[in-house]
Amino acid sequence: MKIITTPEEMRTWAEARLQEGRSIGLVPTMGYFHEGHLSLMRRAHQSADLVVVSLFVNPTQFGPNEDLDRYPRSMERDVSLAEKEGVAVVFAPSNEQMYPQGFQTVIRVEPLATHLCGVNRPVHFSGVATVVTKLFNLIRPTLAVFGEKDYQQLAIIRRLVADLNMTTKVIGHPIVREADGLAMSSRNANLPEGSRDAALSLSASIKLARQAVARGVRSTRELNTLIREHISSFADTRIDYVSFVDGDTLEAADEVDQRTVLALAVHIAERARLIDNGFLVSGSF
């Protein structure tokens, strides 16, 4: 497995492999790998000859007072895990390599980026869209795999690819959960001792909403009250949002149907901001 740290070397390697007629699957990450990341790598292997994993904590998707400095990092561990998964290249550039002096370009995907996480994280998705565009331009992947836990991000990347006529196929991979239902996330490493039950309030809320819908509840206002009461019953929680949205447009839904997604963002003990989501009529954990 190669470790590449410069955009120039990454482009050269990718162009050579494409000229050989080999397909490339890209898994963009910010590192600190868990089973969810590894499952994305395995999914990429199913459809591509070679897998490239980018490992870059992208500063442009963090706003002021967010957790950039506290975001967990472990380069040596990540490289070892990627190698065990048969990854061909780990692309791990520095901030200066990705955003050299004089860098000015920003890509926005709106209105998708103005919903959900975009309300309180206004720069986040422009940072995501910009760095993903750079990665696609450098690597020219045949396909790229993104986790469905970041549901809004996946919707934005799909729109980005469609709007800019990119040729990369975007594949969404189902949420990977721990045995107790907690959605796997690098930020779980920041959870303090004793906050597990509070963190589990997200996945439990999706189950509660599905149960209510199965009983015939369709009003998202009623469901919103139910979910907020459940999450707020844990002392270590602070709700960012509880939203019921259309699965394609992310516009707010008044009544639940087969397209309705419940999306959640909750701060746990002011140490970790966790997100989770799920369709309410079809699909299950």
* Catalytic annotation, residues: 37
In single-letter form, the type of residue at position 121 comes to R
In angstroms, rounded to a whole number, what is the distance separating the alpha carbons of residues 135 and 130? 9
Nearest C-alpha neighbor of 117 from the set 153, 155, 148: 153
Task: Look up residue 171 and give its two tokens.
Answer: 């594949």
b/e string for 257-279 if b means 16 or more Cβ within 10 A? Answer: eeebbbbbbbebbeebbbbbbbb
Rg (CA), the chain: 19
b/e string for 86-102 if b means 16 or more Cβ within 10 A? Answer: ebbbbbbbeeeebbeee
What are the DSSP calls for 179-219, one per residue?
TTSPBP-GGGGGPPTT-HHHHTHHHHHHHHHHHHHHTT--B
Pairing between β-strand 237-246 and β-strand 260-268 as defined by DSSP bridges: antiparallel
Alpha helix positions (H), 4-111 = 7-19, 35-47, 75-84, 95-98
- Map residue 13 onto helix, strand or coil: helix
Task: Look up residue 23 and give its two tokens.
Answer: 């397909």
b/e string for 210-239 if b means 16 or more Cβ within 10 A? Answer: bebbeeeebebeebeebbeebbeebebbee
- Map residue 247 onto helix, strand or coil: coil
